[in-house]
């Protein structure tokens, strides 16, 4: 299929299956998001040779909106995405600041008051190392292992 109308028609028919809708509702109730689910459905269509990746991209928003409407009718409110865009933005900004501080420290000619190093320590995320577990000799647990009786 190459025409967006035909591709949309295919997915509308596919989404009229009650079993599929129940499965999708379960996916969303378990934490799945609308964007990933729609992309997965369209990727499967591409893998099956129903349409190209580009054609799937053209209809993706409409298919996603249709799925959301169907889920809302079933009382399920799927999240648009599981990505936390605010956290991602903050993380990128923190990395940028750390890089700027590092570059300033490296270009310091020895006249710094030590403030940059303090800022670098404050900007670095605290990395806690997990305590190592005690190593014990594990008993074999396969079907063919001999247990002690």
Per-residue pLDDT of the chain (149 residues; tens, 9 = 90+): 889 999 999 999 999 999 999 999 999 888 889 999 999 999 999 999 999 999 999 999 999 999 999 999 999 888 887 666 677 778 788 888 888 877 777 777 767 666 767 666 776 654 444 555 555 555 555 555 555 54
Say whether both 40 and 93 belong to one domain: no
Rounded distance between C-alpha atoms, residue 122 and residue 120, angstroms: 5
Structural domain containing residue 8: 4-73
Say whether both 93 and 68 belong to one domain: no
| pLDDT score at 62 | 94
| pLDDT score at 57 | 92
Rounded distance between C-alpha atoms, residue 71 and residue 82, angstroms: 17
Say whether both 56 and 95 belong to one domain: no
Say whether both 13 and 43 belong to one domain: yes
CA separation, residue 93 to residues 5, 83, 84, 86 (Å)? 42, 17, 14, 11
Say whether both 89 and 51 belong to one domain: no
**Does residue 22 fall inside a structural domain?**
yes
Quote the tokens at residue 143.
Answer: 């079907």
Predicted model pTM: 0.55
Say whether both 91 and 50 belong to one domain: no
């Amino acid at each position: 299929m190459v025409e967006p109308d035909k591709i949309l028609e295919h997915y509308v028919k596919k989404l009229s299956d009650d079993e599929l809708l129940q499965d999708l509702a379960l996916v969303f109730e378990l934490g799945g998001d609308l964007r990933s689910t729609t992309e997965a459905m369209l990727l499967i269509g591409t893998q099956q040779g129903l349409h190209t990746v580009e054609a799937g991209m053209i209809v993706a928003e409409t298919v996603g909106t249709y799925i959301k409407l169907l889920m809302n009718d079933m009382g399920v409110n799927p999240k648009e995405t599981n990505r936390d865009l605010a956290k991602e933005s903050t993380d990128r900004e923190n990395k940028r600041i750390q890089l700027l501080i590092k570059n300033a420290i490296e270009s310091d000619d020895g006249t710094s008051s030590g403030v940059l190093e303090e800022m670098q320590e404050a900007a670095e995320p605290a990395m806690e190392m997990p305590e190592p577990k005690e190593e014990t000799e594990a008993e074999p647990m396969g079907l063919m292992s001999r247990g002690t009786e």
